[in-house]
Structure 1
Amino acid sequence: MIKLVKFIANSLWTTSAVIVVMSAIAVSIVVHAFGLKISGGIALYFVIWWTLLFAILPFGVRSQVEVGDVAHGTEPGAPAAPALREKAIWTTFVSSAVLVFTAGVLPLSGL
């Protein structure tokens, strides 16, 4: 799975396509299976995605000092390689599962 995510993250367009498709699948599942409105499903997914993005961002980040390559004029504690595309893909996978779980457990049919 990790190799697949790294492969997908090599291209901006592939990353964007995976994020859009996975998001659309998750929202359509909660709309059809749990009776949410489309706007409610999208809104709930948006909140979950952004919350989980900030939770996933620190995973695997190494500072420039830890790597041993501090660029002149930058903060030594700045990330050497943040891997933002990979984290966006992981966030999409996790938030899709959380959305389906949340819609299944909580009574959100009025949303």
Structure 2
Amino acid sequence: MMQWTSILAIYVLFWVMSAFLLLPFGIKTHDEMGIEKTAGQADSAPGNFRPGRVMVRATVLAAVLTGIYVANYAYGWITPDDINIFGNPPDPADYRHPDPT
């Protein structure tokens, strides 16, 4: 079984990835919401950004992804050999120089 510190590190990586992935979903600009903009504000600035909602969604998604990752580690559903797109490496014996004597 995997150590809990490794699981925690993988969870944190999945959490950060999930948070960045989920940031643009559900966001509307002030123009889309019909809200008045502040002077000097960018047209693309979000009008309804809710960081708490993003954190909750990222927490749930990261927990699911970490669970799948740890289950795959334990049961070996997908191994490195399954995703080897370049084939097997050449045999080093093919590159030996003949003995000059």
Q: TM-score range by the shorter chain?
A: 0.5 to 0.7
Deviating above 3 A after TM superposition, structure 1's stretches of 4 or more consecutive aligned residues are none
Q: Which has the larger radius of gyration?
A: 2
Aligned residues: 74
1:99 aligns to what?
Answer: 66
Question: Which segments of 5 or more consecutive residues in structure 1 lack a partner in the other structure?
Answer: 1-34
Aligned pairs for 1:52-71 (under 5 A) are 52-69=18-35, 70-71=37-38
2:52 aligns to what?
Answer: 85
Question: Which segments of 5 or more consecutive residues in structure 2 lack a partner in the other structure?
Answer: 75-101
Cα deviation for residue 106 of structure 1 reads 3.1
Q: Deviations over 1:30-69 (max 9, x none)?
A: xxxxx22122111100100000111111110001221222
Structure having the larger proportion of residues in helix: 1
State the percentage of identical aligned residues: 19
